[in-house]
Amino acid sequence: MGKFNTVLWDVDQTLLDFSLSQRDALNGSFKQYGREMGEDVLILYTKINDAYWKQYELGKITKEELLTGRFASLFTQLGIKDISIEAFASCYQKRLGEIYYFRDNAYELCLKLKGRVGQYAVTNGVSATQRNKLRLSGLDQVLDGIFVSEEMGAPKPSFQYFEKCFSQIPGFLQEKTLIVGDSLSSDMQGGNNAGIACCWYNPEQKTNDTKLRIDYEITNLWELEGIL
């Protein structure tokens, strides 16, 4: 038996390229409302969205406040007053659940690992959006389970979130579990909080300016084979 028998996969920007999906969903939403989205709008939205997600991870805002608040902030800065924030947010979220791009041929990797280790998705994304993306991509048929924070009643990286995940993994062993993700504040912090091994997926080779425990660092998902 290998060093690990359970892998917890982050979804957005790890298994799937969220940046590309976000760009397409945002662009399509603006077009639906008769607007054109420039690169400057995407950059601004990404900055706003990241800040809202950080607040959610810290438990300072609810998922509902995040979903509309980010667009309220965006529209305020862009001076948009003639589009319903709620309607736009709903349009965007629907589109986001219909678009996916794999990173590093992630589907083939998960398929190759199937049966060798238990594989579970751990995600903070919106439940309907994430489940639809995972269904369309076929990953839902390869993974052994999907744990969405809003269904678990607590956000990743909280200990409460992981505790609930662990309770649903057959034969769970803390020392045999590895989390793989791109986010230091969500995935690696979560792994630290949960007391499991942490593998930071860092294809852009960013600098880690935190004091978090990182057990492994990879720039391509297929490097995980050597770790397992």
Q: Select which of 10, 12, 17, 182 is catalytic.
A: 10
148 and 61 in a single domain? The answer is no
164 and 218 in a single domain? The answer is yes
Of 104, 125, 95, the C-alpha closest to 21 is: 95
The predicted structure's pLDDT at residue 59: 87
- CATH code at position 178: 3.40.50.1000
Measured CA to CA in angstroms, residue 214 lies from 4, 31, 179, 222 at distances of 16, 42, 10, 18
Q: Provide the residue range defining the domain that includes 169.
A: 6-16+101-227
Annotation says 50 is catalytic: no
Instruction: Give residue-wise pLDDT tens across range 16-75.
Output: 999 999 999 999 999 999 998 999 999 999 999 999 999 998 889 998 999 999 999 999
Instruction: Give residue-wise pLDDT tens across range 95-126.
Output: 999 999 999 999 999 999 999 999 999 999 89
Query: φ and ψ at 181, to 5 degrees?
Result: -165, 165
In a domain, 185, yes or no: yes
Instruction: Give residue-wise pLDDT tens across range 45-58.
Output: 999 999 999 999 88
Q: Give the percent of the chain with pLDDT over 70.
A: 100
Task: State the total domains in the chain.
Answer: 2
Partners of residue 177 on adjacent β-strands: 6
The predicted structure's pLDDT at residue 125: 86
Identify whether the C-beta of residue 133 lies closer than 8 Å to the C-beta of residue 100: yes
